[in-house]
Chains A and B, each alone.
Chain A
Amino acid sequence: MSEVIVFIVAAAMILVGAVGVVASRNPVHSALFLVETLFGVAVIFLIQNANFLAAVQIIVYAGAIVILFLFVIMLLGVDKAEELDVEPIAGQRPLAAVLGAALLGIGLTVVLVASNGVTGAIAATGSEHALDNGFSDVERIGRVLFTEYAFAFQATAALLTIAVIGAVVLTRRVPSTEMLPDREPASFELPPLAPAIDEEEH
């Protein structure tokens, strides 16, 4: 019973946050709604007994990624309300509506037709590690990551490293000499001095 109540509160938090991200006009408010959604997801993780995932959700997503979003918003000064009358890419909005409806349809189909896939019953019984209650959740995640999914884990690490290096290489600008103002001419004259003021005139 208590689990149901917690779930309903957390789900409401997630939905309000998700709608808020899209609906609010100020990008900083959007980022804050995103944090609310992430906290809701962390609570859902907690009631599923995935304590470690909940903590990592807060530390990585709320603590690093959204902070980075906010940082960029503040540095670039795009924290103004958005002009909504102009459509930046033609045909973007009808396409978004169609894709959104399709996604909702797929989601509903999965929930209504293949209910096992949503509750996680298949995943829980399919893997030999899933219901191994002898270990804490941290140990179980570690064991699975470094045995069954070791390759995927290493590949992700390599991907992230390459992405960081790529970002540095792409944004590094070798300053070109043409952009700079002309050098000082050799015969540079000093600007004329301000006319001397006769003190006696005052």
Chain B
Amino acid sequence: MILALDPLFLEKVGLSVVLIALFKVVLAFAIILVGVMFMVWFERKVISDMQHRIGPNIAGPWGLFQTLADGLKLLMKEDLVPEHSNRVVFKLAPFLSIVPAFLTFAIIPLGGNFESKSGVINIFGHDTFLQIADPPVGILLALAMSSIAVYGVMLAGWASGSKYPLLGSVRASAQMVSYEAALGLSVAAIILQTGSLSTHDMVVDQAAGGFAGFIPNWNLIVTGFVPFVIFLIAGTAELNRPPFDLVEAEQELVGGFHTEYSSFRFAIFFLAEYLNTITMSAIIVTIFLGGPSGPVLIEGIDWAWGILWFLVKLFVFLFTFVWFRATLPRFRYDQLMDFGWKLLIPLSLGWFLFLGALNISNDRGWNASLVVAVTVAVGVAAGALLMAAVRTARTERLNQEVDLHG
């Protein structure tokens, strides 16, 4: 049985190998928890800045310990279980939310020298990757975990035995299932490009070569920006972050699926939300922006440069998500569904077919410009047909309304 492609597990698995694996898990766990603390503080500070407020500034320097204080406060609060709730499921739901959030982080390559050593580092005489696990299913694990995360939200709303959480969770599950399709199709474009599911292989592939000596070989550029844009939008919807936060639209649903949750159970949902934000940013960095790959400027501690590049790229997306929240107004529900099903899914599917056609023409040595022209023509024709169908359906619906109601 192949557990991972990590060179650590290729040698004989002894105590030291187990200890190294355990050390990596504990370290990553600690890092991501501290990361969540930082992220909550960062989001509140940046939004405050954009709204001309000061934001948290009392606890610790620049209010850095505000999250810690809030977490402690939540721990001390009374743990309420509503009378009409389904007790077992009510208590299970927060964990179904947080476990996938932690697990997804395991497949993110965090550092290492990808310029000359393809990410292999050496700890105590053992070769390994700076990544908890590199399973053969790779990026599919992230998709599987994001589909499991739907259960947490859905069951939390249902088990609360109250109407606003139920409305929130029905909205959430419909939204997450709809945007998962677009998410998966844009990931498929990356898999087509890399020829492997493993996240480590994706980073190695992107670290190689480049155009004109300075433009990196990132999938962002290689796959032509469209999958990246679709992934970013679908990822935001998957996170239920603004502008896709209909799930917990405060003005309509009190708090959405976690209205009835208090104390530590609420803290777990909150933690899962920010964990997911960080993990989603990390996945975007890994599959589109070459993860920890980047130039090694000073030899010696070459693996640390990988960590630095990774953090810089990660920070860009963490800021982007906060920026979205501060700037964009919320979608209306029908707009959300139309956008997902009638634009994102057909576009990502069409782009995937286009990339596939390009790959085949490369392999067979066909005339590239002719292939591009033909596929673009077919794509435009299909798009026009789809638009015509949508428009006809809408006109017919309107006509029926007019006939019926005068």
Contact = CB atoms under 8 A, between A and B. Distances in A.
Interface of A: 3, 26, 28-29, 32, 35, 46-47, 49, 51-52, 54-56, 58-59, 62-64, 67-68, 70-71, 74-75, 79, 136-138, 174-175, 177, 180, 183
A54 B173 contact: no
Contacts of B143: 55, 59, 63
Contacts of A68: 177
B283 to A, nearest CB: 15
A29 B174 CA distance: 20
10 contacts: A52-B136, A58-B147, A59-B143, A59-B184, A62-B144, A62-B147, A62-B148, A64-B147, A75-B170, A79-B158
B156 interface: no
Interface string B321-348: 0000000000000000000000000000
A61 to B, nearest CB: 10
B154 interface: yes
Given A62-B148, A67-B177, A74-B169, A52 B154 contact: no
Given A52-B137, A177-B404, A180-B404, A63 B170 contact: no
Interface of B: 1-2, 86, 89, 135-137, 140-141, 143-144, 147-148, 150-151, 154-155, 158, 166, 169-170, 173-174, 177, 180, 184, 197, 400, 403-404, 406
Given A28-B89, A67-B151, A74-B166, A58 B144 contact: yes
Contact of B400 (A3, A28, A32, A175): A175
B404 A175 contact: yes
A136 B154 contact: no
Nearest to B157: A74
A74 B158 contact: yes
Contact of A138 (B86, B147, B197): B197
B154 A70 contact: yes
B13 to A, nearest CB: 11
A88 to B, nearest CB: 25
Given A28-B158, A67-B150, A71-B170, A51 B404 contact: no
Given A47-B1, A71-B173, A55 B151 contact: no
Contact of A71 (B86, B140, B174): B174
Nearest to B403: A177
Contact of A52 (B86, B140, B406): B140
B154 A3 contact: no
Interface of A is mostly: helix
Given A51-B137, A70-B173, A59 B144 contact: yes
Contacts of B197: 52, 138
B106 to A, nearest CB: 14
B148 A32 contact: no
A175 B404 CA distance: 8
B107 to A, nearest CB: 12
A68 B178 CA distance: 11
Nearest to A176: B404
A92 B147 CA distance: 36
A67 B89 CA distance: 15
B150 to A, nearest CB: 6
Nearest to B150: A67
Contact of B148 (A58, A70, A138): A58
Contacts of B151: 35, 67
B144 A55 contact: yes
Contacts of B166: 74
A74 B170 contact: yes
A67 B176 CA distance: 10
A75 B400 CA distance: 26
A59 to B, nearest CB: 5
- Which of A29, A67, A68 has the most chain B CB atoms closer than 10 A to its own CB? A67
Contact of B144 (A29, A63, A175, A183): A63
Given A54-B137, A59-B140, A183-B406, A49 B2 contact: yes
Contacts of B147: 58-59, 62-64, 67
